Amino acid sequence: MTVLSLPDALARIEMLKDRAGIFAGTRRRDDLYAALGACLTLCTDIRLGCREAEVRAALAAKAKGARNRTFAETETDVHVLLCRYIFEHEGESRHAAWRYGASLKEAARRQISGADLPEWLAANGGLRTLFLARPVVARSLSTKTLHLTSAVTVAKDAPFTVTLRYTGQGTFDVVEAP
């Protein structure tokens, strides 16, 4: 194993981002699988070279003044962090980039190499297979802010009760409202 330097890691990240941007709107399955395989290899190299903190700091510095905190998060797994940076493009949902990262994390857990990933995905049902196979992290959710899928109208000065159901994607469906 060769130790990956920070400039080399950042250059590879930018190369992957440029390559991912070419097919952002019209991804072909084979191109996407190849890009994900390269991303998984890069994640593995960064983790083996103990460069996670340095890469995180470099991406956070690039994102200063950006529209959101995507790359400055301190607890995000390196797979999700890199996929957000590489695959999240203007006008696209963050959900796809997050799914890619979660799928790569599962591939790493299963010890699938980046070189083998495109072939493995093609033979085993694609990203959905890895995404759905990942373990559920927590049985409960704790949050101060609730994102509802539909609006709820309530009186300002009266107590109210709302019944919600978690969708599994960070939002809540309103089951029963006043």
Encode pLDDT of 99-130 as tens digits: 888 899 999 999 999 999 999 998 988 888 88
Q: Does residue 12 have a pLDDT over 50?
A: yes
Half-sphere exposure of 176 (CA within 13 A, CB side): 3
49 with 99, same domain? yes
Q: Are residues 80 and 146 in the same domain?
A: no
Do both 81 and 156 map to the same domain?
no
Q: Please indicate, yes or no, whether residues 119 and 163 belong to a single structural domain of this protein.
A: no
Amino acid at 160: F
Same structural domain for residues 161 and 113?
no
Task: List the domain range (segments joined by +) for residue 122.
Answer: 6-133
Rounded distance between C-alpha atoms, residue 174 and residue 148, angstroms: 7
The total of structural domains in the chain comes to 2
- The pLDDT, as a whole number, for residue 115 is 92
Q: Which stretches within the chain are classed as H helix?
A: 6-22, 29-48, 52-62, 78-87, 94-109, 117-123, 127-133
Task: State whether 35 and 121 are in the same domain.
Answer: yes
Compute φ and ψ for 17, nearest 5 degrees. Answer: -65, -45
113 and 153 share one domain: no
Q: Hey, is 124 helix, strand or coil? A: coil
- 148 and 66 assigned to the same domain: no
Least confident of 13-27, 66-80, 88-102, 128-142: 66-80
The reply to whether 114 and 146 lie within a common domain is no
Tell whether 1 is covered by a domain: no
Q: Are 107 and 117 in contact (CB under 8 A)?
A: yes
Give the highest mean pLDDT range of 25-34, 109-118, 123-132, 161-170.
109-118
